[in-house]
Amino acid sequence: MSEEKSLNFIEEIVENDLNSGKYETLVTRFPPEPNGYLHIGHAKAICLNFGLTQKYGGYTNLRFDDTNPVTEKTEYVNSQQEDIKWLGFNWKNELYASDYFDELYSFAVKLIEKGLAYVDEISADEIAALKGTPTEPGQDSPYRNRSVEENLDIFTKMKNGDFPDGAYILRAKIDMASPNMLMRDPIIYRIKHAEHHRTGNKWCIYPMYDFAHGQSDSIENITHSICTLEYVSHRELYDWFIEKLEIFPSKQYEFARLNLTSTVMSKRKLLQLVNENLVSGWDDPRMPTISGLRRRGFTPKSIREFCERIGIAKRENLIELSLLEFCIREDLNKTASRVMAVLDPIKLIITNYEKGTEDLIGENNPEAEDGGGTRVIPFSNELWIERDDFMEVPAKKWFRLAPGAMVRLKFAYIVKCEDFVKDENGNVTEIHCTYIPESKSGNDTSGINVKGTIHWVSAQHAKTAEIRLYDRLFTSETPDAEEGDFKDYLNPESLKVLPNAYIEPALADADLEGRYQFIRKGYFCLDKDSTADKLVFNRTVTLKDTFKKPN
Partner RNA sequence: UGUCCGAUAGUAUAAGGGUAGUACGACAGUUUUUGGUACUGUUUGUCUUGGUUCGAAUCCAGGUCGGACAACCA
Q: Dihedrals φ, ψ of 170, to 5°?
A: -105, 130
**Nearer residue to RNA within complex by CB, 483 or 533:** 483
**Nearer residue to RNA within complex by CB, 57 or 371:** 371
Contact residue for RNA among 124, 361, 448, 497 (CB under 7 A): 124
Segment interacting with RNA (CB under 7 A) among 274-282, 309-317, 373-381, 421-429: 309-317
- Three-state secondary-structure class, residue 331: helix
DSSP string over 384-414: EEEGGGB-SSPPTT--SB-TT-EEEETTS-E
Question: Residue 246 Cβ, how far from RNA at the closest point, in Å?
Answer: 23
267 is catalytic: yes
Distance CA 235, CA 392 (A): 67
Contact residue for RNA among 30, 76, 206, 537 (CB under 7 A): 206
Q: Parallel, antiparallel, or unpaired for β 428-436 and 414-422?
A: antiparallel
**Nearer residue to RNA within complex by CB, 180 or 280:** 180
Contact residue for RNA among 399, 403, 430, 478 (CB under 7 A): 399
Does the annotation list 257 as a binding residue?
yes
Judge contact between 398 and 390, C-beta under 8 A. Answer: no
Choosing from 267, 294, 296, 521, the catalytic residue is 267
Beta bridge partners of residue 501, listed in sequence order? 465
Contact residue for RNA among 26, 104, 169, 433 (CB under 7 A): 169
85 is catalytic: no
Contact flag: residue 547 with RNA (CB under 7 A): yes
- Three-state secondary-structure class, residue 234: helix
Does the annotation list 387 as a binding residue?
no
Judge contact between 327 and 301, C-beta under 8 A. Answer: no
> What is the separation of C-alpha 80 from the centre of its chain, rounded to a whole number of angstroms?
12
Residue 367: count of CB within 10 angstroms of its CB: 13
Burial label for 371, CB within 10 Å (0-12, 13-18, 19+), is: exposed
Question: Residue 419 Cβ, how far from RNA at the closest point, in Å?
Answer: 21
Question: Residue 391 Cβ, how far from RNA at the closest point, in Å?
Answer: 9
257 is catalytic: yes
Does the annotation list 197 as a binding residue?
no
Residue 450: count of CB within 10 angstroms of its CB: 17
Choosing from 11, 15, 33, 477, the catalytic residue is 33
Query: How far from 332 is each of 88, 533, 545, CA to CA, in Å?
Result: 17, 27, 16
Contact flag: residue 452 with RNA (CB under 7 A): yes
Contact flag: residue 144 with RNA (CB under 7 A): no
Question: Residue 481 Cβ, how far from RNA at the closest point, in Å?
Answer: 7
Window 47-86: contact mask with RNA (x via CB under 7 A): ------------------x-xx--x---------------
Contact residue for RNA among 18, 271, 319, 495 (CB under 7 A): 319
Contact flag: residue 192 with RNA (CB under 7 A): yes
Judge contact between 215 and 113, C-beta under 8 A. Answer: no
Judge contact between 532 and 543, C-beta under 8 A. Answer: no
SS3 content of the chain, % helix, strand, coil (to 5): 30, 25, 45
Q: What is the CA radius of gyration of the chain?
A: 31
Contact flag: residue 117 with RNA (CB under 7 A): no
Distance CA 505, CA 502 (A): 9
Does the annotation list 45 as a binding residue?
yes
Segment interacting with RNA (CB under 7 A) among 20-28, 54-62, 223-231, 504-512: 223-231
Q: Parallel, antiparallel, or unpaired for β 382-386 and 224-228?
A: unpaired
Residues 457-516 that bind RNA (CB under 7 A): none
Distance CA 111, CA 171 (A): 10
Residues 225-254 that bind RNA (CB under 7 A): 229-234
- Residue 469 is classified by DSSP as E
Contact flag: residue 177 with RNA (CB under 7 A): no
Contact flag: residue 8 with RNA (CB under 7 A): yes
Segment interacting with RNA (CB under 7 A) among 288-296, 343-351, 365-373, 417-425: 365-373
**Nearer residue to RNA within complex by CB, 113 or 165:** 165
Question: Residue 454 Cβ, how far from RNA at the closest point, in Å?
Answer: 7
Judge contact between 214 and 250, C-beta under 8 A. Answer: yes
Window 261-300: contact mask with RNA (x via CB under 7 A): ----------------------------------------
Does the annotation list 41 as a binding residue?
yes
Contact residue for RNA among 314, 347, 387, 461 (CB under 7 A): 314
Contact residue for RNA among 44, 251, 338, 472 (CB under 7 A): 338
Contact flag: residue 536 with RNA (CB under 7 A): no
Does the annotation list 463 as a binding residue?
no
Judge contact between 205 and 221, C-beta under 8 A. Answer: no
Contact flag: residue 426 with RNA (CB under 7 A): no
Distance CA 474, CA 279 (A): 12
- Residue 475 is classified by DSSP as S
Contact flag: residue 191 with RNA (CB under 7 A): yes
Does the annotation list 40 as a binding residue?
yes
The 3 state secondary structure assigned to 1-50 is CCCCCCCCHHHHHHHHHHHCCCCCCCEEEECCCCCCCCEHHHHHHHHHHH
**Active-site residue list:** 33, 257, 267
Cite the annotated binding site for ATP by residue number: 33-35, 39-45, 228, 257-258, 265-267
**Residue list, annotated binding site for L-glutamine:** 65, 209
